[in-house]
Chain A
Amino acid sequence: MLTETETKLLGVMMMVIMFGMGASLTFRDFLIAFKKPKGVLVGLLCQYGIMPFLGYALAVSLGLPPALAVGLILMGCMPGGTTSNIFTYFSKGVLALSIMMTSVSTLVAVVAVPALIEMYSNMAGVTGEFKIPAANVAQVLVILLVPTVLGMLLRKWNANIGAVVELVGGMLGVFVILFLIVSWVPRNYQLLLTTPWSVYFAAIGLGLVGMLLGYWLARLLKQDNNRARTISLETGIQNGPLAVLIVTLTFSGTMQQEVLLIPVLYSLFIVLTSTAITLWYRGISKREALARDGAKIGAVAAA
């Protein structure tokens, strides 16, 4: 379990991360998303259509106990993580789309996440003490909108400082996961050793399968390759630290430890899987760019 200080620290870091996310955005971005909503709608469909269902389906098909099931469903229902923007940047994806998906999904989260958690928890038969109160979730999300808007204001005031804060926030997202690994893993390695394979499978599978399905759904909805790759990363990468925060604010004691297992494992492995996927996507993007250049200067080479 996380200590009181660690929980507080996590809360503060979360604020900074959201501040950074806000700083990556302009008010104009939102207006554009409303005026030309197609890309973002496809993204939202992947985010809140695929992932929560995937969390639920994995929990039920693997027969996870309630504590783990609720952790997995919670993880599936989370909005997009801010680290996805960094991965998108490095995979040469469509950064603007990634940023928009993260922020719109975070905005929509205030309504969507409590409702989805409620629905899938009920369907999975999670009851009583393991249920996450919808009001708690909504409250946390509303509070996090404050630093987000502050970040946007900062960006409007000075684009240079905004861009630096954006970078710091994104880096901190990765750092928080490292912090979790360092503070949580050593204390719980016994638990990790006895954790059954199905839990690892669920924690890793949620991200990987999410990316795969996100890609194909986006392709099906006529997004081009590069946008589909961006949506894929965005879909698979959830806001892990946010899930951890919600768990620590909702549960305590051993219960907290149990519910935390999947969000922590997910956060840990998503860094590894999305790094691998990013390198792969980057390779594809490069090949596509080269092919385009090839078409362009093929003439010169041929002559």
Chain B
Amino acid sequence: MKAESVYDLAPWTMHYGVQSFQDGQSEHACLPALISAVAKQFAQNRAFTCVMPNGMYGNLSFAQIDELSDDFATYLRETLQLEAGARVAVQAPNCLSVPIAVFGILKAGCVLVNTNPLYTAAEMKHQFADAGVEAVVIVDMFTDKLETIRAETGIKHIITCSVASFFPPVVRHIVQGIQRYWNRAIPAHSMSVTQIEEAVAAGGAARAKLKRDPQEFWKRLKRTDLALLQYTGGTTGVAKGAMLTHGNLLANIDQILAMGAAKIELGREVVLTALPVYHIFAFTANLLAFYRVGARNLLIPSPRPVQNLQRAFENYPVTWISGVNTLFNALLNEEWFTAFPPKHLKAAIGGGAAMHSAVVKRWEATTGSRLAEGYGLTESSPLVCFQPFTGPQRTDCIGIPAPGTAVRLVDDDGKPVPQGERGELIVRGPQVMQGYWNQHDESAKTIKDGWLYTGDVAVMDHEHMFHIVDRKKDLIIVSGFNVYPNEVEEAITAHDKVMEAAVIGVVDAKTGEAVRAFVVKRDATLTETEVLEHCKTVLTGYKMPTKIIFRDELPKSPIGKILRKELRKEVAAK
């Protein structure tokens, strides 16, 4: 192929450093092969530790997770008689049952459907029906929602788990007792369900009786086989299932590790997983990539309030953490965190939504370690771009494309724009999904000629680093001038008294659209005039907010991404 533009010459490879990377050709043919091999390599090491807010914990070693997920795989295939390729959903917060279920489903040759436990019944119905889910592993806290919609889905088997499943017995009973009797968080239901402990026991018994080696279920899996349906809201509102194969995820694991290689030692890392692993970011980065390097994974069932992380930070030598802007920001507002920042921390990965450079700088000053921003989307498993640890230290960009990834910035006609100009970021690489499940039109609109159209507007600077300007659809047009909300938000949050901000466009009689800012105060004394005075020093006239609205909180997605569309809906409703 002839190079059509500067992007096709991949000038950023100069920042890759010394490591080599063969286009995401992992030595494994499928995820179960990797899971099994890693478990043997680090057998006696601790793989997962679930940490409750008061410090109570449960552990699973690599050998245990291998054994339990083998049992669970056998349960799915032999006891429940599911076929290879059957869709099985996991709907639970981070807890020990999640890796058992996820790895078990993959080992069974079934297709995993990650599901947000905070979904409403209607959202659950859509996702389960759309994916054709046959069995679901659901946390006992939300079975009531499932009961209301079960008849409208094809779900045949329900396996329940508790946040404290696989904890030591006394601790498990205390946690479950408090959940059930004091918090009344465990609703009653009349469905016939199997607890995951029973399922694993049944699977183990079946394995022994049939002398079945769980390898049978997965040894014929190929890189092109479907592993995961990861639902994403997308722009149209109806959630679509991104089809990610074993090959997609294996490639992205390698790409993520290539990003972190400089600071990762095999079998020595402790990674804090505060983001939910049903989200693609923590799923691939924490659950899969850090598992691959034999890291101990600290699973936090709920990072909100953020004090819930205090005992995990105190009791374990956390070396890596992944998070979103709001999580890092929240930690930096905690006395216990800033008084004693984690001293073993080597690096942090930020993603999920744009990191604000003010937060990155405070984080790096407080912890003395890098916070590298990554950029990705569900449709690309997710990692596309990252800030290399080997390259120049930058806090204002998403860095460079991951090894093996081709990107271009294009105009509305799909033609590459010159370096330094804004264009839609498009991606091609081994991590790009196969399309949306049962959505041919949507797939065709998103993937054209093998390129994934991200809907994000970006620019490449003279160092060949990429900057996300904004979502294409979030662009505000004031009197014909383009205003990108990110830029205005950055400007506002740079003010010391501001905790966080969101910016949207509202209809304006004079200018077509006007900039409106929603601001959460860090310091209660902050006034609208102070914000505007500050903005004046960094923003030209047409980018200035015409109105500042102070809020106690901003609408956020489960991982803490600020949802501008909710603010737009709110304004539109008035």
Task: Spell out A's residues near B (CB within 8 Å).
Answer: 26, 28, 31-32, 35-36, 39, 90, 94-96, 155, 159-160, 162-164, 166-167, 292, 295-300, 302-303
B54 on the interface (CB 8 Å rule)?
yes
B336 on the interface (CB 8 Å rule)?
yes
- At the interface with chain A, which of B309-317, B386-394, B420-428? B309-317
B553 on the interface (CB 8 Å rule)?
yes
A5 to chain B, nearest CB (A): 30
- Contact of B552 with A299 in the complex, beta carbons under 8 Å: no
- Contact of A299 with B566 in the complex, beta carbons under 8 Å: yes
- Contact of B56 with A303 in the complex, beta carbons under 8 Å: no
**A-chain residues with CB within 8 Å of residue B553 when the two chains form the complex:** 292, 295-296
**A-chain residues with CB within 8 Å of residue B566 when the two chains form the complex:** 297, 299-300
- Contact of A298 with B340 in the complex, beta carbons under 8 Å: no
Look across to chain A and name the residue whose beta carbon is closest to the beta carbon of B565.
Answer: A299
Interface size on B, residues (CB 8 A): 31
B210 on the interface (CB 8 Å rule)?
no
- Contact of B311 with A167 in the complex, beta carbons under 8 Å: no
- At the interface with chain A, which of B94-102, B166-174, B277-285, B487-495? B166-174
- Given that A36-B335, A90-B182, A160-B171 are known contacts, is A299 also in contact with B54, CB under 8 Å in the complex? no
- Given that A159-B311, A164-B174, A302-B573 are known contacts, is A296 also in contact with B168, CB under 8 Å in the complex? no
Look across to chain B and name the residue whose beta carbon is closest to the beta carbon of A163.
Answer: B56
Known: A36-B335, A36-B336, A163-B54. 12 other contacts (CB 8 A): A28-B340, A31-B339, A31-B340, A32-B335, A90-B182, A96-B310, A159-B315, A160-B57, A163-B55, A163-B56, A163-B171, A300-B555
**B-chain residues with CB within 8 Å of residue A35 when the two chains form the complex:** 335, 339-340
- Contact of A303 with B171 in the complex, beta carbons under 8 Å: no
Alpha-carbon distance A39/B336, docked complex (angstroms): 12
- Contact of B340 with A160 in the complex, beta carbons under 8 Å: no
| Interface of chain B residues 8 through 30 with chain A (CB within 8 A) | none
- Contact of A299 with B168 in the complex, beta carbons under 8 Å: no
Which of B57, B336, B555, B556 lies in contact with A32, CB distance below 8 A? B336
Look across to chain A and name the residue whose beta carbon is closest to the beta carbon of B182.
Answer: A90
Determine which residue in B556, B573, B574 has the highest number of CB atoms from chain A within 10 A of its CB, and name it.
Answer: B573
B64 on the interface (CB 8 Å rule)?
no
Alpha-carbon distance A31/B553, docked complex (angstroms): 31
B360 to chain A, nearest CB (A): 23
6 tightest A-B CB contacts, nearest first: A299-B570, A303-B569, A299-B566, A159-B55, A302-B573, A36-B335
- Contact of B339 with A164 in the complex, beta carbons under 8 Å: no
Look across to chain B and name the residue whose beta carbon is closest to the beta carbon of A35.
Answer: B339
- Given that A90-B182, A295-B552 are known contacts, is A32 also in contact with B573, CB under 8 Å in the complex? no
- Contact of A302 with B57 in the complex, beta carbons under 8 Å: no
- Contact of B171 with A299 in the complex, beta carbons under 8 Å: no
**B-chain residues with CB within 8 Å of residue A96 when the two chains form the complex:** 307, 310, 336
- Contact of A28 with B570 in the complex, beta carbons under 8 Å: no
B1 on the interface (CB 8 Å rule)?
no
Alpha-carbon distance A162/B314, docked complex (angstroms): 14
**B-chain residues with CB within 8 Å of residue A28 when the two chains form the complex:** 314, 336, 340
B63 on the interface (CB 8 Å rule)?
no
Look across to chain B and name the residue whose beta carbon is closest to the beta carbon of A34.
Answer: B339
- Contact of B572 with A303 in the complex, beta carbons under 8 Å: yes
**B-chain residues with CB within 8 Å of residue A31 when the two chains form the complex:** 339-340
Which of B315, B552, B555 lies in contact with A297, CB distance below 8 A? B555
B331 to chain A, nearest CB (A): 14
Look across to chain B and name the residue whose beta carbon is closest to the beta carbon of A90.
Answer: B182
The SS class assigned to the A binding surface is helix
**B-chain residues with CB within 8 Å of residue A303 when the two chains form the complex:** 569-570, 572-573
- Contact of B311 with A298 in the complex, beta carbons under 8 Å: no
B126 to chain A, nearest CB (A): 16
A170 to chain B, nearest CB (A): 12
Please name 6 pairs of A and B residues whose Cβ atoms are closer than 8 Å in the assembled complex, sorted by A.
A94-B307, A95-B307, A163-B54, A163-B171, A296-B556, A299-B570
Alpha-carbon distance A25/B174, docked complex (angstroms): 19
**B-chain residues with CB within 8 Å of residue A36 when the two chains form the complex:** 335-336, 339
Which of B170, B174, B569 lies in contact with A299, CB distance below 8 A? B569
A271 to chain B, nearest CB (A): 17
- Given that A159-B57, A160-B56, A160-B57 are known contacts, is A299 also in contact with B567, CB under 8 Å in the complex? yes
Which of A166, A292, A300 lies in contact with B569, CB distance below 8 A? A300
Instruction: Flag B531-558 by CB within 8 Å of A: 1 or 0 each.
Output: 0000000000000000000011111100
Alpha-carbon distance A162/B311, docked complex (angstroms): 12
Instruction: Flag B149-170 by CB within 8 Å of A: 1 or 0 each.
Output: 0000000000000000000101
**A-chain residues with CB within 8 Å of residue B315 when the two chains form the complex:** 159
**B-chain residues with CB within 8 Å of residue A26 when the two chains form the complex:** 311, 314
**B-chain residues with CB within 8 Å of residue A90 when the two chains form the complex:** 182
- Given that A32-B339, A90-B182 are known contacts, is A167 also in contact with B567, CB under 8 Å in the complex? no
Which of B335, B552, B570 lies in contact with A302, CB distance below 8 A? B570
Look across to chain B and name the residue whose beta carbon is closest to the beta carbon of A298.
Answer: B570
Alpha-carbon distance A134/B517, docked complex (angstroms): 61
Alpha-carbon distance A164/B335, docked complex (angstroms): 26
- Contact of A160 with B168 in the complex, beta carbons under 8 Å: yes
Alpha-carbon distance A162/B315, docked complex (angstroms): 12
**B-chain residues with CB within 8 Å of residue A95 when the two chains form the complex:** 54, 307
Alpha-carbon distance A160/B566, docked complex (angstroms): 41
B207 to chain A, nearest CB (A): 30
Alpha-carbon distance A40/B553, docked complex (angstroms): 27
B179 to chain A, nearest CB (A): 13
Determine which residue in A163, A167, A298, A303 has the highest number of CB atoms from chain B within 10 A of its CB, and name it.
Answer: A163
Look across to chain B and name the residue whose beta carbon is closest to the beta carbon of A297.
Answer: B555
**A-chain residues with CB within 8 Å of residue B555 when the two chains form the complex:** 296-297, 299-300
Look across to chain B and name the residue whose beta carbon is closest to the beta carbon of A39.
Answer: B335
- Given that A167-B174, A295-B552, A296-B556 are known contacts, is A162 also in contact with B570, CB under 8 Å in the complex? no
- Given that A96-B307, A299-B566, A300-B569 are known contacts, is A164 also in contact with B336, CB under 8 Å in the complex? no
Alpha-carbon distance A164/B171, docked complex (angstroms): 7
**B-chain residues with CB within 8 Å of residue A164 when the two chains form the complex:** 170-171, 174
Alpha-carbon distance A302/B569, docked complex (angstroms): 8
A300 to chain B, nearest CB (A): 6
**B-chain residues with CB within 8 Å of residue A299 when the two chains form the complex:** 555, 566-567, 569-570, 573
Look across to chain A and name the residue whose beta carbon is closest to the beta carbon of B555.
Answer: A296
A181 to chain B, nearest CB (A): 23
A17 to chain B, nearest CB (A): 18
A107 to chain B, nearest CB (A): 18
**A-chain residues with CB within 8 Å of residue B311 when the two chains form the complex:** 26, 159
**A-chain residues with CB within 8 Å of residue B56 when the two chains form the complex:** 159-160, 163
A152 to chain B, nearest CB (A): 12
Determine which residue in A32, A39, A159, A297 has the highest number of CB atoms from chain B within 10 A of its CB, and name it.
Answer: A159
A174 to chain B, nearest CB (A): 14
Instruction: Flag B326-357 by CB within 8 Å of A: 1 or 0 each.
Output: 00000000011001100000000000000000
